[in-house]
Structure 1
Amino acid sequence: MSQLPIADYALISDCHSSGLISRGGSVDWLCFPRFDSPSVFTRLLDDTGGHWSLRPTSEAMITRRYLEGSLVLRTTFRTPTGTAVLLDTLAVGPNLDGHHLGAEVPHGLLRRVRCTHGKVEFEIEYAPRPEYGLVLPQLRQVEGGVLARGGAVVLLLSSTVPLKISGSTARGRFRLDAGQALEFSLQYRSSSEPPPTPWVPHRITHQLEQTVRAWRSWSKLHQNYQGPWKALVQHSGRVLQALTYYPTGAIIAAPTTSLPEVVGGTRNWDYRYSWVRDASLTLDALWIAACPDESYKFFDFMAASALTQVQRGVDMQIMFGVGGEHDLSERELSHLSGWRRSQPVRIGNGAWDQRQLDVYGELLNAAHRLRDYFPHLEETRQFLAQVADTAARRWREPDQGIWEVRGPPQHFLYSKLMCWVALDRAIALADLLQTSHRVEYWQEMRASIRQAILTQGWNGQRRAFTQAFGSDVLDAASLMMPIVGFLPADDPRMLSTIDTLEAHLTDGQGLVYRYRNEDGLEGEEGAFLLCTFWLAHAVALAGQVDRAKKIFSRAIAFTNDLGLLAEEVDPQSGELLGNFPQAFSHIGLINAAWAIAQAERG
């Protein structure tokens, strides 16, 4: 089952934790109680990693969709004898005002199957495997279900279907006739808490209906985008909300770890953390397709997490745990074979302590986006001024760059560009920050960075801005130059860069690679969906609307049947690759759609 295509999976979330459910009705990935907690189902990464399947015993034609305005999954099974509909979701609280989706969560997975025509026989197989499949829990029958204990986890499966326990797996069968339905739930507790009590069917139904209403309440209040690809943009906004850790406002890059950038490769990373880099692009996307409230909360999380580091004069960390944790040390899980034998499987992320100078620009660009929101706190003003001063002082230094290369530091163009952004936005915020006395210095440094980028970042032979100063390597990150306002998109140098990148940095399907050169890591990778959306965005800013639409359409053609995107696309097979669903891909989609809409309006 670990061989299933990544696109076969659906995301469910309660804005604390998340799961992936296969087209065939199997929960193959689930982390409780946080996105970055050890998984209790891990079949996504190894056949023996645990799952909870609920599927017809006979062959079925399968279709699926999310209920309108929500991320409640609806899977329809059409068998030779009848049709049944399965609803899956992680439960959330009532969310009566539409603002607080995820404020109250019972840490429960809800499943309801109903026969709508004829009769359908189902089989259920429940195999919890806490701690990424390491723990074989003890299962025992209790009134109303099955209780599992193992390691630090207690799980209670509520079921009115009799289940037979064999070792650490429970199985059963049942038949539904037209009009009949059955409800199931899975509740999490830590081993230090009292075990939960089983949920009776009507409570599961109530929780499920409440979750649908909560999602729809949030969507109705916050999703006001009007423009091309409206349904897809709004859905992408819900995906970003689903990847938001409600208690802090942190937005994770993806809810999975170690889904590879190439099948069988070693570029397998844990993305269940929050990157400072994502801040400014994410805030724009939230403003367009989700909720400004989430924008404010995300910025507060980022600023609070980074504040002490800037005050101490050390490198600003590039990512944090969803609770603000700093140490994200990386290790390998050797007992897992990986998706399609792609090893190693990693948890943690070794890039957490890299030097990446672009983060100063990302944070100040986000601050500029929210300038009307800022609390007038002296601590906040001093922090942002220190961020600008740090960018001014350190922009000449080499770093690991936006793509977190694990080779020698270089003078990456994108890092210099974002230091320019840091100073440009600080100058614009000077009145708010009460830093008029620093503006002249910031202006001098901004001018120096600009001159360096225009002279050392431009390669006359390639007719393009390149990856690093003095380099001839092409890099899609140069497409950000017009997006952040460094150069107009119709500047001859930018138009030439756009044309050169599209000619030399795309695959046979017109999707854009990040770069194509040695980066200190083994193997290759697929085309990068975010970079393809950047290309569409930059072309739209240049006023070439029809061309931008074609590029955008090429990228969205790779959404799965539920409108979800991974990080990359395999250039040969067209399969989705990388962690899934990927926030950056949906962020790029939203921002590019908005740019195209604005370009159409002139």
Structure 2
Amino acid sequence: MRSELSVELQRMRWRSPADAAATAVAAGIAGVIGRKYESPEIGDTAVIGNGHGRLAVFGPDGNVCSWNVPFGHGVPVCNGLYDGTEDTAFRLGVAGQDRPTDMRLKANSATLVSTWTSPTGQARERAVMVGSPTTPDGNQLVRRLTCDRGSITATLDFRLRYGHAGEQPVQWTVLRSGRGFTEYVATVGNVKMFFTTNMHLTFGEGGTSVRGSLPLKAKKSAFFAVGGHDSLSPRTDKEAKRLIVESEKGWLKYVQSLRNLRGKYAGIAIQSAINLRLLGYGDGGSFYAAATRSLPEDDPRLGLAVRCWDYLKDWERDAGLTVLSLTDAGDQKVLLARYRWYKKLHDIRHRLAIMHEVDGGNVADNGEIIIPGIGHRGSVYRVGNGAGDQKQHDWTSYAAEVCYRLALQGLIDLEFVASLAEQARDAMFKPCSGVWEIRPAENQENGAKLRVYASAQILNGQALAYFSKIFEMAGEQDKAREYKALAAKVMPWVRDNCVKRGVIVAAPDVPVLDSSILLAFMQAPDMFESGDEELVRATALAIDEPHTTAGPLKGLRVGKGHVRYHAAEFQDGISLAEEGLFNNITGWLAIVFLQLGMLQRAETLMGELMGTFNRVRQASEENTPGGRALGNLNQAYVYQAVIWFALLWEVIMAELEKAQAAEAASRTSRAA
């Protein structure tokens, strides 16, 4: 599907001011070059959500810099994370102070706690998207600033604009008022929004700009609550506090259900599970891949970033792995919720798409819109995803594992399983866009060639193995034997066609390293035999080799991180320029080395991954070699890796402890 912006402009990288200005004028975006960008650094942000599809991003100054309505995949009303010509504000702070002195996520919750210090006192704000995985969706963002000591003046700057380019200012009017209470309303797109506060307000610019203030002494609070038509606006500070407390109790109840997260890495694993679960939509049957859209994966300081994707979608891969990792952590609800979500999809029996809208909509039908120049630091801004109609032949393996785990619990939907199994069978040894979603030549100029990727075939083989087991449990012995035989064909093909110089390469005609093979090592246990251990080890070591090391295969390590592949070698149909360092690849490597028993190396890698987390213990998709965050925020792959590493570490430690105890008992017995 061709985008509205020419492919050549998408692929172009601005290298010199003269060329940049000429390109900007040609694209109708003169004035972008040379601007002083005001968007915050990607790594200085914090994401909150309630697990029902409501998300908001806070900047380091306490401003809500990204908020879409009515759900995360909706239309922006706060856009400070990007650099369009129309700016917004939603900032609750302290008079005379530019930013809080500290921002943290409260333990066992999704509450953002910001500490403000002034010459006259100290205050603390709690910001919550009302609701949690164990409590209903409140459809409301509540902020409450409490003076802890001394005295301060709470201040408010509130200016919303609706539209991807901030086209429509949001105008507020009085809806109703009572004793010490006033509620305001605005039409935002095709929905109503409401806010209440106990602050003293002044309105400007025709009711589109709201400023507030409230002097506070110790133990007194200012609140501001804004939400949709189905929210219950708090009339008093006491009611605002109750909404926050109930949401925190709901998150604590959820954390307490994650009984499998314990031991050395429990703290970061629990926070990772919270970060994952807040990406959920509805009842947790679908999940966003990340909390934002269109943040650049190429460093915007080097030129126009073209790798800017809309991640506010339910990728079958990303969401499937989220469901599986949360289930392993102890979540007892998301597995069945995922199955129920599958059943609602109108086209799943025809073909399981690689991604859907979180509400089940067809991403390919919705298309992809590209707006030049208004993205983060002047990059392109994308809404929708042009990869929605791609073929990626690993895609049934995640649904297959969901079905297999449910079958172990006694739930077998044979019609559904048979439909998915046929799709996996038809994908055997067929070319596709692969795990990394290359943009194919059939859809755009200068696109890449579809290939039969080793990782996709191994993961598809694992799907066939799962389907065989499900058929056997259902008493369908002929089907079970058929799919077991199909699965058995995969690894011989890989060994014959995709092993070069003792390691698994991307594809038969792409003899380079591809980090997606790590996902196959992690998620395809039935595909590998004990004799494959050295092949797995050699491949993982080759991937972890520095890219500067001379050799026939170029390693994927760059500094303290890893690229997915080297763009000039891999040819993804997007750009030949190198990407940022993908944090999940470091995590996947850590897990594979842990599986191989290389504990010290695994822990070193996990330390590198955790080093990419920011002060609120959240991670973006990528980093530059210098440590600056890139890519979309709160990326699911990163947290899945942390959870699985923590779980596997405890299993290995328990096995070592058991072995040591047995050895000690044996020595005692021999001595006696």
Q: What TM-score results when the alignment is normalised by the length of structure 2?
A: 0.82
| Deviations 1:135-175, CA, capped at 9 Å, x for gaps | 11223345325433343232222122222222221113333
> In the comparison of the two structures, how many residue pairs are matched?
580
Map of 1:45-84 to 2, 5 A cutoff? 45-46=82-83, 48-59=86-97, 62-84=101-123
In the alignment, is the contact (CA less than 8 A) between 2:289 and 2:319 conserved in 1?
A: no
Distance 1:256 1:290 in 2: 27
Contact 1:13 1:90 in 2 (8 A): yes
Q: Equivalents in 1 of 2:536, 2:293: separation in Å?
A: 36
Q: Shift of residue 280 of structure 1?
A: 4.6
Deviation at 1:354, TM superposition (A): 0.5
Do the aligned partners of 2:556 and 2:565 also contact (CA within 8 Å) in 1? no
Matches within 5 A, 1:288-307: 288-302=328-342, 304-305=344-345
Match of 1:228 in 2: 264
User: Which AA in structure 2 matches 1:244?
Assistant: G
For residues 290 and 157 of structure 1, the distance between their equivalents in structure 2, rounded to whole angstroms, comes to: 37
Does residue 286 in structure 1 map to residue 318 in structure 2?
no
Is residue 160 of structure 1 aligned with residue 198 of structure 2? Answer: yes
Match of residue 40 from structure 1: 77
Contact map agreement 2:452 2:507 (CA 8 A) in 1: yes
CA distance in 2, matches of 1:367, 1:359: 14
The 2-side partners of 1:107 and 1:472 are apart by 50
Give the conservation status (yes or no) of the 8 Å contact 2:40–2:60: no
1:386 pairs, out of 415, 419, 422, with 419
Q: CA RMSD in A?
A: 2.3
**Residues 1:513 and 2:563 are matched in the alignment:** yes
- The letter for the 1-side match of 2:423 is T
The one-letter code of the counterpart of 1:91 is V
Q: Aligned letter for 1:257? A: R
Q: Which residue of 1 aligns with 2:480?
A: 439
Superimposed CA distance per residue, residues 522-545 of structure 1 (whole angstroms, 9 cap, x where no aligned partner) = 343211111111100110010111
In the alignment, which residue of structure 2 is the partner of 1:96? Answer: none
Partner of 1:269: 309
Q: What is the alpha-carbon distance in structure 2 between the residues aligned to residue 491 and residue 417 of structure 1?
A: 15
Determine which of 339, 343, 349 is the counterpart of 2:385: 349
1:64 maps to a residue whose letter is M
Q: 2:581, 2:622 within 8 Å by CA — same for their partners in 1?
A: yes
- Counting only pairs closer than 5 Å after superposition, residues 466-481 of structure 1 correspond to structure 2 as 466-481=505-520
Distance in 2 (CA, whole Å) between partners of 1:488 and 1:427 is: 18
User: Take 1:286 and 1:54, find their aligned partners in 2: how far apart are those partners?
Assistant: 34
Alignment partner of 1:187 is 2:219: no
Task: Say whether residues 1:332 and 2:369 are aligned partners.
Answer: yes
Instruction: After superposition, give the CA deviation of every residue in 1:240-297 in whole Å (9 maximum; x if it has no partner).
Output: 2111113462111012100111232111111111111135532331123350211221
Query: Unpaired segments of 5 or more residues in structure 2?
Result: 1-36, 440-447, 548-554, 656-672
- Superposed, 1:127-526 pairs within 5 Å as 127-132=159-164, 133-141=166-174, 143=177, 144-167=182-205, 168-189=208-229, 199-247=235-283, 249-264=285-300, 265-302=305-342, 304-305=344-345, 308-310=347-349, 312=350, 315-328=351-364, 329-332=366-369, 334=371, 337-343=374-380, 345-376=381-412, 380-406=413-439, 407-460=448-501, 463-483=502-522, 484-485=524-525, 486-487=527-528, 491-503=533-545, 504=547, 505-517=555-567, 518-522=571-575, 523-526=577-580
Tell me whether 1:556 sits opposite 2:610 in the alignment: yes
Secondary structure of the equivalent of 2:593? helix
Asked if 1:111 is matched to 2:165, the reply is: no
In the alignment, is the contact (CA less than 8 A) between 1:61 and 1:79 conserved in 2? no
Pick closer, same or farther for the CA change 1:446–1:198 going to 2, 3 Å.
closer
> Shift of the alpha carbon at 1:479?
1.6
Moved more, 531-540 or 324-333: 324-333
Give the Å deviation of 1:68: 2.4
The aligned amino acid for 1:219 is V
What amino acid does structure 2 have at the position aligned with 1:429? I
The verdict on how the C-alpha distance between 1:75 and 1:350 changes in structure 2, with shifts beyond 3 A counting, is same
CA distance, structure 2, for counterparts of residue 188 and residue 246 of structure 1: 16
Cα offset for 1:394? 2.7
User: Which stretch of the first structure deviates more once superposed, 148-157 or 421-430?
Assistant: 148-157
Contact kept in structure 2, 1:82 and 1:120, CA below 8 Å:
yes
Matched to 2:494, the amino acid is I
Give the distance between the partners of 1:559 and 1:271, measured in 2 at CA: 19
Compute the displacement of 1:438 (Å). Answer: 1.9
Sequence identity percentage: 22
Residue 172 to residue 333, structure 1, CA distance change in 2 (3 Å): farther
Pairwise CA distance, 1:508: 3.9
Q: Structure 1-normalised TM-score?
A: 0.91
SS of aligned partner of 1:125: strand
| Matched-pair contact (CA < 8 Å) for 2:261–2:646 | no
CA contact (8 A) 1:283 1:369 kept: no
| Distance apart, 1:223 and its partner CA | 4.2
Q: Provide closer, same or farther for how the CA distance between residues 145 and 319 of structure 1 changes in structure 2, counting only shifts above 3 A.
A: same
Inter-partner Cα distance in structure 2 for 1:198 and 1:553: 43
Distance in 1 of aligned mates of 2:201 and 2:544: 57
The residue number in structure 2 matching 1:97 is none
Cα distance in 2 for residues equivalent to 1:519 and 1:289 = 34
What is the distance in 2 between the residues matched to 1:388 and 1:498?
A: 30
Q: 1:149 to 1:430 in 2, by over 3 A?
A: closer
Instruction: Indicate conservation of the 8 Å contact 1:185/1:199, yes or no.
Output: no
* Residues 233/185 of structure 1: CA separation in 2 closer, same or farther (3 Å cut): same
Q: What are structure 1's unaligned runs of at least 5 residues?
A: 94-99
8 Å contact kept, 2:318–2:637: yes
